[in-house]
Amino acid sequence: MILVDLQIASRNLLNHTKRNLLLGGAIAAVTALLVIMGALTEGIRSAMLESATTLMTGHVNVGGFFKITSGTSAPLVTDHEKVLADVRRLAPEIDYVTVRGRGWAKGVSERSSMDLVLAGVDIAREPGFRRVVRMKEGSLEDLAKPDTVLLFEDQAKRLEVRVGDAITISAPTARGVSNTADVRVVAIARNLGILSAFNVFLPSETLRSLYQLNASTTGALHLYLEDAAEAGHVAARLRGGLAKAGWRVMDPDPRPYWEKLMGKVNSEDWVGQKLDVTTWEDELTFISWILSALLGITGLLMFILLVIVVIGILNTLAIAIRERTREIGTLRAIGMQRTKVLWLFLLEAASLGLAGTACGALLGVALAAAVNAAHLAVPESMQFFLMQQQLTMTVLGRTVVARSLFILAVTTGAALVPAFHAARLKPITAMHHIG
Amino acid sequence: MTTTLRPLTAALIAALALPAAALSQKETDDIVARVDERQHNNGDWAALCYMESKEKDKTDVVYELVYYRRTEGQRLLILFTKPKSEAGKGYLRLEKNLWHYDPGTGKWERRTERERIGGTDTRRGDLDESRLAEEYVAKWEADEKLGAFDVHRLLLDVKPGIDVAFPRVRLWIDAATGNVLKRQDLALSGRLMRTGYYPKWKKVFSESKGTDVWFPEEMRFYDEVEKANSSLILIRQVDLHPLSPNMFTKAWLEAKSR
């Protein structure tokens, strides 16, 4: 029976090829746009997360603050090996751990200077680093040598240095004593948007020497999980478990560590060590607005397009009903039920919607693949926010299906009003209709 | 005659060519103690200060501030009066804690004692009483000429357990007056961070001390890491009369900021 109904719906659609092609094309265009926007958002989100969770944060971080006096704090974890042992015991789902030094300093070259956020790394133990950071000049391996530094290309441009040049890193130690380290630029990496604006990487030993720290002190433990989605649960478990193990643990506060350091920690009246367990989402709250803005723009654009499509469907079906009023009257006169009329018009709209969304989804996926293949360069002004130099689109099958189904539901739903109108027509009135 | 004079001349030349005799540790310590003592005021202090900061690629900044000191409890209060955007902000030193107040937010924040005042290259210590003998161990390096002045050049290393912005300081002290004429601040790494010049010294009679108190009327600091940066500090209207007893409180600074 459904096959007969489908045949009737298809024939009706084919009888008005031009009009339905136009409407189907509009539905396809909206679907394709939704797929493209989704792929773009996902591309940016995944690029941002991959970069950020390699450069700045783990899926879960066990950082902390050490206060020598109540007014002097530093982002430090003392006895980090003991902390790590407890962390491993409490979170068996950890894939791997990196130990990072944290700090900030003034970088001064022969010609220029800038503020820098320092990350002390042991490059041999940073498996994700090579995947994310692409070299423009120099060698990442040289970062294993003491008194070296990796800069990003905009930083190198601003400091007017090249590989082999020296810069002075000037910072107060945890006790507020001025210190400097002369480091050699061994690698200049391609920009990674906002993340590479201030972050530079230097060997952990150099950072320790700058801040006069002993070998058991570091900045944070970056924990990488097998499933990043588990970060929230693992962080909560670690907070409770570390506190039970005798560590002083700070209350959850979804802000990056440097915001806490600048604001909250210094004004609190305590001394000694406190651990702070955060997730990658906490550490990246300062850039989450970029994704929110992108999602907001996408949503607004889709809303406008869907309104246009709904108006188009209402209009097309209204014309179709007007043209076929006598036909509806005849069908009703020979015994067709109202529900059947309603069903036929809905099926017609759904068939049109299905064809449109299917074509649109395929078009969107093809366009996304073409964009990826073309390696389109992102304009420099946009790179800072999009955190990629080449436009990358990530198409997720489930997202494409979900969005296509959404468009299909909207187009079918939009047909309800004219379909009800058609079903309500009285056979005698409809048959006398002159249209 | 000629033969007898030759050895004498040679001895005289040799004596002149010898470096000046090294000062003993006691003499060196006395010189540093004298630097502190001449600036020490056994009571209260109020002064007006102009601070000009130049930084590369930035607009020059000029601040006007008043600062108050009390020897008892080593108290210090700094209140910015100009420019308008900074007026009302201030620092208060209470029991080795340096607090910063921002009337815009109404919040007090603890800052390190090594804080750069107003974000410039000026440190709290530049406006505070000189405590060189308390904080550093001095070593005589040379007696030499600095321009037209005969000076002692001393190298000071911070004493263990004391936190200062610069763990090593080199001073050029006027041999005649005991005033510091030049100062080099060095980092832990030994790198020269800042050079200061004190071209004008002035004295004011202190009733509480019963003698004169000396202060540098003008200080010029040159950043040796970022070479283009410099600061100029001018001290004016020094007043050593007793201040209100409840002055060094948060409430007082908040009231002044309104």
Give pLDDT tens digits along chain A (435 positions).
Answer: 678 888 887 887 777 778 788 888 888 988 898 889 888 888 887 877 778 888 889 999 999 999 887 777 899 999 999 999 999 999 999 999 999 999 999 999 988 999 999 999 999 988 888 888 889 999 999 999 999 999 999 999 999 999 999 999 999 988 888 999 999 999 999 888 777 888 999 999 999 999 999 999 999 999 999 888 899 999 999 999 999 999 999 999 998 898 898 878 877 888 999 999 999 989 888 777 777 887 888 788 878 888 887 887 778 777 877 777 777 778 778 888 888 888 888 888 888 889 999 999 999 999 999 999 998 888 777 777 777 777 888 888 988 999 889 888 988 888 788 778 777 777 777 777 665
Confidence of residue B81 (pLDDT cuts 50, 70, 90): very high
> Domain boundary residue among A251, A281, A311?
A281
Asked if the structure places residue B205 within a domain, the reply is yes
By C-alpha distance, the chain A residue nearest B225 is A108
Q: Are B125 and B135 in contact (CB under 8 A)?
A: no
A273 shares its domain with A394: no
Chain A hits for B114, Cβ within 8 Å: 172, 176-178
Q: Estimate to the nearest angstrom the gap between the alpha carbon of A63 and the chain centroid.
A: 24
From residue A108, how far is each of A144, A171, A177, A237, B57 by CA, in Å?
22, 11, 18, 42, 14
pLDDT at B12 (0 to 100): 53
Residue B4 lies in a domain: no
CB contact under 8 A, A70 and B97: yes
Q: How far apart (Å, rounded) are the C-alpha atoms in residues B211 and A147?
A: 53
CB nearest to A177's CB, from B56, B164, B225: B164
**Under an 8 A CB cutoff, do A175 and B163 touch?**
yes
Give the count of domains, chain A. 2
At A77 the pLDDT is: 96
Residue A423 is classified by DSSP as H
Cβ atoms B171, B154 nearer than 8 A: yes
Tell me which residue in A69, A70, A177 faces B167 most closely, judged by beta carbons. A177
Residues A162 and A263 placed together within one structural domain of the fold: yes
H-helix or E-strand containing A203?
strand A199-203
Q: For residues B78 and A167, what is the distance between their CA atoms, to the nearest angstrom? A: 35
Query: What are the chain B neighbours of A108 within 8 Å (beta carbons)?
Result: 225-226
Mean pLDDT within B9-31: 71
Best of B58, B110, B113, B122 to disrupt the A interface by mutation (most A CBs within 10 Å)? B110
Answer yes or no: is B224 within a domain: yes
Q: Are A104 and A118 in contact (CB under 8 A)?
A: yes
Interface TM-score (ipTM) > 0.95: no
B13 within some domain = no
By C-alpha distance, which of A123, A66, A75 is closest to A278? A75
Task: Name the domain boundary from A246, A264, A281.
Answer: A281
Contact assessment for residue A353 and residue A411, using Cβ atoms and an 8 Å cutoff? yes
CA distance B102 to A357: 58
Question: What six digits make up the tokens of B162?
Answer: 């004391």
In this structure, are A397 and A273 located in the same domain? no
> A38 and A403 in contact (C-beta within 8 Å)?
yes
User: B111 to chain A: which residues are within 8 Å by CB?
Assistant: 71, 266
Task: Give the Cα separation of A309 and A315 in Å (integer).
Answer: 10
Determine the length of chain A. Answer: 435
Do A120 and A181 fall within a single domain? yes
Q: What is the DSSP code string of A318-349? A: HHHHHHTHHHHHHHHHTT--HHHHHHHHHHHH
The pLDDT, as a whole number, for residue A433 is 64
Judge whether residue B2 has pLDDT over 60: no
Same structural domain for residues A250 and A203? yes
Give the residue on B whose Cα is nearest the Cα of A270: B110
Which residues in chain A are closer than 8 Å to B187, comparing Cβ atoms?
A: 170, 177-180
Averaged pLDDT score across all residues of chain B: 88
Among A176, A266, A267, beta carbon nearest to B113 = A176
Distance from the Cα of B74 to chain A's closest Cα (Å) equals: 17
H/E/C letters for each residue in B139-203? EEEEEEEECCEEEEEEEEEECCCCCCCCCEEEEEEECCCCCEEEEEEECCCCCEEEEEEEEEEEE
Q: Is residue B19 a part of any domain in this protein?
A: no
CB contact under 8 A, B225 and A266: no
> Rounded distance, CA B186 to CA A97, Å?
38
Q: A149 near A183, Cβ under 8 Å?
A: yes
* Best of A68, A70, A178 to mutate (most B CBs within 10 Å, chain B): A178
Eight-class DSSP state of A263 = I
Asked if the structure places residue B17 within a domain, the reply is no
In chain B, % helix, strand, coil (3-state, to 5) comes to 20, 45, 35
Candidates B108, B111, B188; nearest CB to A173:
B188
- pLDDT for the residue A290: 77
The two three-digit tokens of residue B39, written as one number = 């600036």
End residue of a domain, out of A252, A281, A310: A281
Residue B16 has pLDDT above 60, yes or no: no
Q: Are residues A124 and A217 in the same domain?
A: yes
Model confidence at B4, pLDDT cuts 50, 70, 90, reads: low
Q: In which residue are the tokens 């210590």 written?
A: B125
Name the helix (H) or strand (E) containing A392: none
Q: Does the beta-carbon distance from A113 to B97 stay under 8 Å? A: no
Pairing of strands A60-69, A272-279: antiparallel
DSSP per-residue letters across A87-100: HHHH-TTEEEEEEE
Closest CA to B237 of B50, B40, B61: B50
Q: What is the DSSP letter of B73?
A: G
Q: How many structural domains comprise chain B?
A: 1
* A73 lies in the same domain as A185: yes
Of A172, A175, A266, the CB nearest to B110: A266
Contact A405, A31 (CB under 8 A): no
What is the spatial distance between Cα B243 and Cα A228, in angstroms, rounded to a whole number? 61
- What domain range includes position B111? 25-257
In B18-123, which ranges are continuous DSSP H helix?
25-39
Say which residues have a Cβ less than 8 Å from residue B25's Cβ, sequence separation at least 6.
B139, B140
The conformation of residue A399, written as its DSSP 8-state character, comes to H
Interface test with A, best of B101, B225, B250 (most A CBs within 10 A): B225
Contact yes or no for B208/B43 (Cβ under 8 A): yes
Q: What is the DSSP letter of A74?
A: E
Q: How many CB atoms lie within 10 A of CB B24?
A: 10
Is residue A308 located within the same domain as residue A416?
Answer: yes
Q: Decide: B153 and B142 in contact? Cβ < 8 Å.
A: yes
* Residues whose CB is less than 8 angstroms from the CB of residue A285 and which lie 6 or more positions away in sequence, other chains included: A254, A255, A256
| Mean pLDDT within B221-229 | 91
Q: Are A20 and A316 in contact (CB under 8 A)?
A: yes
Q: Is A66 helix (H, G, I), strand (E, B) or coil?
A: strand
The β-bridge partners of B213 are: B204
Q: Per this entry, what is the length of chain B? A: 258
**pLDDT tens digits for B146-165?**
999 999 999 999 999 888 88
> Is A249 found in the same domain as A193?
yes
What gap in Å lies between CA A143 and CA B155, rounded to an integer?
36
Phi, psi of A220 (to 5 degrees): -165, 155
Q: Which domain holds residue A131?
A: 59-281
**What mean pLDDT is predicted for residues B165-192?**
95
Co-location of A68 and A191 in the same domain:
yes
Residue B90 lies in a domain: yes
Does B134 have pLDDT greater than 60? Answer: yes
Q: How far apart are CA B51 and CA B122, in angstroms?
A: 8
Residues A178/B226, Cβ–Cβ less than 8 Å = no
Asked whether the beta carbons of residue A113 and residue B165 sit closer than 8 angstroms, the reply is no
Residues A43 and A102 grouped into a single domain: no
Indicate which CATH number applies to the domain containing B207: 2.50.20.10
Is B143 inside a domain boundary?
Answer: yes
Q: How many CB pairs under 8 A join A and B?
A: 73
CA distance B124 to B120: 11
Beta-carbon separation of B163 and A176 below 8 A: yes
- Which residue of A113, A168, A178 is in closest CB contact with B188? A178
Running DSSP on this structure, what letter comes out for residue A218?
A: B
How far, in Å, CA of B93 to CA of B100, rounded?
9
Digit-coded pLDDT (tens) for A273-311? 999 999 998 988 877 777 788 788 878 887 888 888 788
pLDDT higher than 60, residue B1: no
In terms of DSSP H, where are the helices of A174-284? 204-211, 231-244, 257-259, 266-267, 280-283
Regarding whether A352 and A331 lie in a shared domain, the answer is yes
Q: Out of A175, A182, A267, name the one closest to residue B110 (CB).
A: A267
For residue A359, give the H/E element and its range: helix A338-374
Task: Please tell me whether the peptide bond between B83 and the residue prior to it is cis, using omega within 30 degrees of 0.
Answer: yes
Binary contact (A176, B193; C-beta < 8 A) = no
Distance from CA of A108 to the nearest CA of B (A): 7
